[in-house]
A and B are shown apart, each in its own frame.
Chain A
Amino acid sequence: MSIEARFRIDRDDFTLDVDLTIPERGVTALFGPSGCGKTTLLRAIAGLEASQNGYLKVGDEIWQDEQKNLLPHQRPIGYVFQEPSLFAHLNVQRNLEYGLKRLRGVTPKVSLKHAVELLGIGHLLERKPHQLSGGEQQRVAIARALAVSPAMLLMDEPLAALDMIRKHEILPYLESLHRELDIPVLYVSHSREEVARLGDNLVLLEAGRVQAMGTVSELFSRLDLALAHGPETETVIKAVVAGYDEEFELSYLDFSGGRFAVAGKRLPLGSAARLQILARDISLTLEHQTKTSILNIFPATVDEMTYEGTAQITVKIKIGSVAVLVRITRKSASELGLQLGQAVYAQVKSVALLS
């Protein structure tokens, strides 16, 4: 089961030409600089943007091909726009019910109550949109899109119009959506942070074309892509909560290359989590250091190296089968005599537990 999409849209100054298969599970981030066509692609999937010879198949159902082209209101989607776009003439409750009333015989998978709880908007139902903060409005808009039990949730930079504080107010709700609902999500973003926190799969768009597709972990660690370069280079690792140390308040998280000890929030045993490690927070040694404050040390091999400017090097190492990016100085690399295939130890100074 997957979503197949082929679109070609010609504009005066821009052409979108994509052919992609999106897994029908989890969150797929459409990522790229502004003007790369990610919003246009999302709108084409929703039917809001006309395209010649478009093709869209969701699971077993054709939504668009040469014979057939479902209009936007006939496509079972939920769409969250960049600005909250609540109906100004309706209160929150009636905004939420707008789509629900138009379901016509479909039994909702997500109850309105559940959507309201997930987004924490139970206390706002009687209010009018102008009485809500930007963050609250966007939460209502997300709940409204969820309440129609869409076959697919399309989100167009839902956090972009909000300030930092509001963003961090909504992110946990988006993470819980992801955990609790079995709806594929297409998430347009130009923020690495959001992609790292929310994305499972990643479609990189560049000037209207697909540059690369894969899992977030995979693409974040590919040295041939721009993602791997720049000051915020990071690796995202999927892990499972394996235990908790009451005495030192540390969580243990297992991934295919070993086990991390991470301070921070306690998550239920066995739940999936993602770890984020900045490339500059890892150092490499040739011997296993024992007298050190660093808790997370893993044996690894050097897989690839590339210059980052003239003074630094980005090293891709493999811990087991997991690729991790490390940023070190050219001098360090030279002193360690790093070579491809060499065995090293990766000392991870800091890990962020994302969910």
Chain B
Amino acid sequence: MFTEYDLAALWITLKLAVITTLILLLIGTPLAWWLARSRWRYKFLFEAVVALPLVLPPTVLGFYLLIALGPHGPIGGLMETLGGSPLAFTFTGLVIGSVFYSMPFVVQPLQGAFTAIGERPLEVAATLGASPIDRFFSVAVPLARPGFLTATVLGFAHTLGEFGVVLMIGGNIPGVTQVLSIAIYDHVEALEYTQAHWISGSLLLLSFLLLMSVYALNRRFSVVKP
């Protein structure tokens, strides 16, 4: 079954996925709302940046993050001047990398859901006395519920499976930055196929169950919608 290192990697993987998803929901929701509703003509620039991790090799993203977060990079340097330590090869660094890496998987479903709501329900809410913030929470969020569900699960599941970015900026330190996907790699390198099977099978099952739940639930929601 799982070794002590594998369990540590599982724990770090889950912690990373949960924290990343929460952060992404917090910053992704206003970003998606803005992308869905703004009529600014250069908005496509932001859409392209958000979508970049979909096409970029994760190592490219990881490489730039490594430089930025390292002691000589702008962010790592800033951290050092502020009396902290550089973020490369730390769990915080992993979280930052994951947030970028999984961003489109959270922002795009939300943006799609907000766009699908359209202007009308919000106008109705306005004529019924709801302020902009009130309209967002009482109308937009509930109507975008399938989008939130998809965004949460995709963000979570995608972070579970990340490899390249984590390898570049996490450095594969067991108990600190070693996640499951890299643990599998290590086991295969060491020809420990049984271990690799266990972890791979678990990840496969977990990801499948998560995605299956999303699609099943969203089908139920879409039946409820007119």
Q: Which of A50-58, A75-83, A282-290, A330-338 contacts B (4 or more CB under 8 A)?
A: A75-83
Decide if A128 touches B123 in the complex (CB within 8 Å).
Answer: no
Chain B min CB distance to A307 (Å): 46
- Ordered by A's residue number, 19 sampled pairs between the chains whose C-beta atoms are within 8 Å are A46-B127, A48-B123, A48-B126, A73-B125, A73-B126, A73-B130, A73-B131, A73-B134, A75-B127, A77-B127, A78-B127, A79-B123, A79-B127, A81-B123, A85-B120, A85-B124, A98-B130, A145-B128, A154-B127
Task: Check if A87 is an interface residue, CB within 8 A of chain B.
Answer: yes
A46 to B121 CA separation, bound complex (whole angstroms)? 15
Task: Check if A168 is an interface residue, CB within 8 A of chain B.
Answer: no
Decide if B121 touches A73 in the complex (CB within 8 Å).
Answer: no
Task: Give B140-181 interface residues, CB cut-off 8 Å to A.
Answer: 142-143, 145
Decide if A98 touches B143 in the complex (CB within 8 Å).
Answer: no
CB contact between A144 and one of B128, B135, B143 (< 8 Å): that residue: B128
Task: Check if B83 is an interface residue, CB within 8 A of chain A.
Answer: no
10 closest cross-chain pairs (CB), A and B: A99-B128, A102-B129, A79-B127, A72-B126, A130-B226, A89-B142, A73-B126, A85-B124, A73-B129, A85-B120
Task: Give A31-89 interface residues, CB cut-off 8 Å to B.
Answer: 46-48, 71-73, 75, 77-79, 81, 83, 85, 87-89
A192 to B211 CA separation, bound complex (whole angstroms)? 55
Decide if B226 touches A129 in the complex (CB within 8 Å).
Answer: yes
* Contact status of A87 and B226, CB under 8 A, knowing A48-B126, A73-B126, A102-B129: no
* Contact status of A83 and B120, CB under 8 A, knowing A78-B127, A103-B129, A148-B129: yes
Instruction: Give the residue name and chain of the B residue nearest to A48 (CB).
Output: B123
Instruction: Give the residue name and chain of the B residue nearest to A47 (CB).
Output: B126
Task: Give A127-146 interface residues, CB cut-off 8 Å to B.
Answer: 128-130, 144-145
Task: Check if B225 is an interface residue, CB within 8 A of chain A.
Answer: yes
Task: Check if B224 is an interface residue, CB within 8 A of chain A.
Answer: yes
A79 to B128 CA separation, bound complex (whole angstroms)? 8
Most buried by A among B126, B143, B225: B126
A88 to B142 CA separation, bound complex (whole angstroms)? 9
Chain A min CB distance to B115 (Å): 16
Q: Mark B85-125, 1 if CB is under 8 A from A, else 0.
A: 00000000000000000000000000000000000110111
Instruction: Give the residue name and chain of the A residue nearest to B145 (CB).
Output: A89
* Contact status of A72 and B139, CB under 8 A, knowing A83-B120, A102-B134: no
A241 to B164 CA separation, bound complex (whole angstroms)? 85
Decide if B120 touches A81 in the complex (CB within 8 Å).
Answer: yes
Most buried by B among A75, A99, A103, A145: A99
Contacts of A77 in B (CB 8 A): 127
Q: Mark B204-226, 1 if CB is under 8 A from A, else 0.
A: 00000000000000000000111
A130 to B120 CA separation, bound complex (whole angstroms)? 17
Chain B min CB distance to A206 (Å): 26
A89 to B146 CA separation, bound complex (whole angstroms)? 12
Decide if B128 touches A88 in the complex (CB within 8 Å).
Answer: no
A73 to B122 CA separation, bound complex (whole angstroms)? 11
Contacts of A75 in B (CB 8 A): 127
Contacts of B130 in A (CB 8 A): 73, 98, 102
Decide if B226 touches A88 in the complex (CB within 8 Å).
Answer: yes
Chain A min CB distance to B148 (Å): 13
Chain B min CB distance to A233 (Å): 36
